[in-house]
Chain A
Amino acid sequence: MRSATPWSEVFDQLLVATGETLYMVVVSTLIAVLLGTPVGIWLQLTAPGGLNPRPVLHKVLGFVVDLGRSMPFLVLLVVLTSLTRLLLTSTIGPTAAIVPLSVGAIPFVGRLVQNVLSEVNVAVVEAAVTTGSSTLRIVRSVLLRESLPALINAIGVTAIALLGYSAMAGVVGGGGLGDLAVRMGYQRFNDRFLWSTVVVLAIIATAIQLVTNRVARGVDRRRTTSI
C-alpha cells in the first residue's frame, strides 16, 4: 500500500490536464460550429417548406448527417487516424484529438442548427421574402438572428457533448482530464486523481451551461421589460 500522492502533485497534473481538455473542447467546438452551422442551414433551406425546397437533396444530406451521428465516437476516433495524420502529421496529443472531435460533432451541430432554425415562425420568414430580400439576407437577418438565443444554447450543448468525447479521446493518446482519470485514477487506483477529475469535469460542464444560458438570455429580446 503506497501512500497517497501529495495534493500539490495532483493539482499540478490536474492543471495541465484541465488546460488540455479546455483546449480540445474550445477549438473543436469552434470548428464544429463553424462547419456544422452551414450544414444545418443547408438542411433547413432544402427541407419541405423551406426557402428552397429540394426533397431529394434534403433526403441525401439528412442521410449522410444521420450516418455521421450514428457512428460511435470511439470508432470514429480510430477511423479518422489517417485523416489526422494527413492534416497534422501526428496522431498523438490534444491537437490531434481535435480532428476527430470536430468531425464527429459536425453532423451533431448540423441537426441541432436545423432544429433551431425550423422553429422560426413561418410568417416571419415569409414576411422577409415579400420584402424582396435575398436568401442569404434572410438566412443572416432572419433565420440566424431570430434564433440566436437557441443557437447559443445549442453551442453550449455541443461543447458539453465534446467535453464528454474529449475524455474518450484521452484514451487514445489525446491527453486531458479523461486520460488523467483513466491512467492515474483507474489504472493506478488513485482516488485523489479519480475524484478530483470528476469534480473538475462537473465544474466545467456546469460553467459552460451557465455561461451559454446567460449569453443566450442576454441576446434575447423576446420579453417585456418589467421593472
Chain B
Amino acid sequence: MITVENLTKTFPGSTGQVRALDGVNLDVAAGTVLGVVGPSGAGKSTLARCVALLERPDSGAIRVDGTDLVSLDGTALRAARRQIGVVPQGDSLLRQRTAAGNVALPLEAAGVAGPQRRNRVAELLDLVGLTDKAGSYPDQLSGGQRQRIAVARALAASPSVLLADEPTSALDPDTTGSVLTVLDRARAELGVTVLVVTHDMGVVRKICDDVAVLEGGRVVEHGKVLDLVSDAASRTAASLLPAVDQNPAAEGAFDRVADIVLIGFAAVGALLPEATSRFGVELNLLGGGLTRLGETPVARFRVGLKGERADSALEWISEAGGSVRRTLAGPQGVAA
C-alpha cells in the first residue's frame, strides 16, 4: 500500500511562487487501483513526479508499506525506487533495445542475471500479452504495445506499487482498453497497488476502485468510486454518470420528478419495475442512462412519476438501495 501525507511542492514562477501541491493526502490500500484526476494545472504531473521520486517535495511523506521514501539519498534512494514501478508519461522505451531488453532494464539495475532474468522477462511479456514481440524494437510496435511493454518494465523488479502517469493520453480508444486491461491484470494477478494519474475519466470508469480529484494542488474529493457516484453532488458523479438533460416542459406533466442512481445488477434491473407494480404508480424515464464502472453496471435516470403513492414509491426505492434526489418536489416538498 502507499500513503501520501501532506505533500507540498512550490515552484518559482514568473509571478512569485507557484504552489503546485498544497497538502495532498492520499492513501491506496494494497491491491487496489486509485485514479488521480483533475483539470490541467491541478498538480497531477507534479504529484506523479513526486511519487516516482523524480521530484523532491518541499514537505510531506510518501510511504510505501509504512516506510517514508522522500528523505532518502544515494543507494537507499535507488533501492527505494525499486519499490515503485513507474510507467512514465509519453514514449519512454529505449529505442535501441528490444522489447525484452527494455523489460530487463530494472532487473539489470537490481543485479538479477542469467536464466533468472530471462524467466522474469518472459513472465512479464506473457502478463502483458506480448510474448511474440520479445525481439521487436519499439519502432516496430504500435503505441499501445509500447505502453504495455512500459508497464511490463515497470513491474519487472516486483515493486509493490505501480505508478502510471497518463498511461493512455496518446492512445486511441481501442488501444487504451488494452493498456488498462494490463494495469488491471497487474493488480489482480500480482496484487500490486496501482496509482493512475490521468485526465481521462474513462480510465476511472474502467479500472479504478478509488478516485481522488485534484484541484489547485489540493485533493477536493477522495473515496471509493461507487460511494462517490451515489452522491449526486460529487464531481465524480457529475463526470462519470450519464448526463440528464433539463426538460422542464416534459417534467411539468408529472407529480414527482427525481434523479435516481442505481448501482449493481439487481438494482439496475429490478428496482424501478418493482416500485411501479408495488405502489401502482406510472413511472417514465425522462433522461439519463446506463453505464459501467469496472464490472458494475450503474444507472442514473431522471424519472417522472404519476400517481397518489409516488412519494412512497421514491422512499421505497431509496430504502432498497437506490440513491434518490428529487428535482421537482411535490406539494409536500420533502426530499426522500
Residues of chain A touching chain B, judged by Cβ–Cβ distance below 8 Å, are: 121, 123-124, 126-134, 137, 141-142, 145-146, 148, 219-225
Contact = CB atoms under 8 A, between A and B. Distances in A.
Given A141-B105, A224-B140, A131 B92 contact: no
14 contacts: A121-B91, A127-B92, A127-B153, A128-B105, A130-B53, A131-B153, A131-B156, A132-B110, A137-B108, A145-B94, A148-B96, A220-B96, A222-B95, A224-B140
B98 to A, nearest CB: 8
B109 A134 contact: yes
B86 interface: yes
B96 A131 contact: no
A130 B69 CA distance: 13
Nearest to B86: A130
B137 interface: yes
A66 B52 CA distance: 37
Contacts of A142: 94
Interface in B112-156: 137, 139-140, 150, 153-154, 156
B106 interface: yes
A124 B89 contact: no
Contacts of B92: 121, 123-124, 126-127
Interface of B: 52-54, 78-82, 84-86, 88-98, 105-106, 108-110, 137, 139-140, 150, 153-154, 156-157
B113 to A, nearest CB: 13
A137 B89 contact: no
A132 B82 contact: yes
Contact of B88 (A126, A224, A225): A126
B107 to A, nearest CB: 9
B81 A129 contact: yes
A1 B98 CA distance: 68
The 3 A-B residue pairs with the shortest CB-CB distance in the complex, in nearest-first order: A131-B106, A130-B86, A127-B92
A132 B78 contact: yes
A134 B96 contact: no
Contacts of A133: 78, 105-106, 108-109
B139 A221 contact: yes
B96 A130 contact: no
A221 B95 contact: yes
B109 A131 contact: yes
Describe B's contact surface by its main secondary structure.
Answer: loop
B197 to A, nearest CB: 14
A129 B110 contact: no
A225 B91 contact: no
B82 A131 contact: yes
A127 B95 contact: no
B105 A221 contact: no
Contact of B109 (A137, A220, A225): A137
Given A141-B108, A221-B96, A123 B79 contact: no
A188 B150 CA distance: 67
A222 B97 CA distance: 9
A124 B139 contact: no
Nearest to A129: B54
A220 B97 CA distance: 10
Contacts of A224: 139-140
Residue of A126, A145, A224 contacting most chain B CB atoms (<10 Å): A126
Nearest to B95: A222
A151 B43 CA distance: 38
Given A148-B96, A224-B140, 17 more contacts: A126-B54, A127-B92, A127-B150, A128-B94, A131-B105, A131-B109, A132-B78, A132-B110, A133-B78, A133-B109, A141-B108, A145-B96, A146-B96, A219-B96, A220-B96, A221-B95, A221-B139
Contacts of A145: 94, 96-97
A178 B208 CA distance: 72
B105 A123 contact: no
Residue of A131, A133, A145 contacting most chain B CB atoms (<10 Å): A131
Nearest to A127: B92
B106 A132 contact: yes
A128 B110 CA distance: 12
Nearest to A133: B109
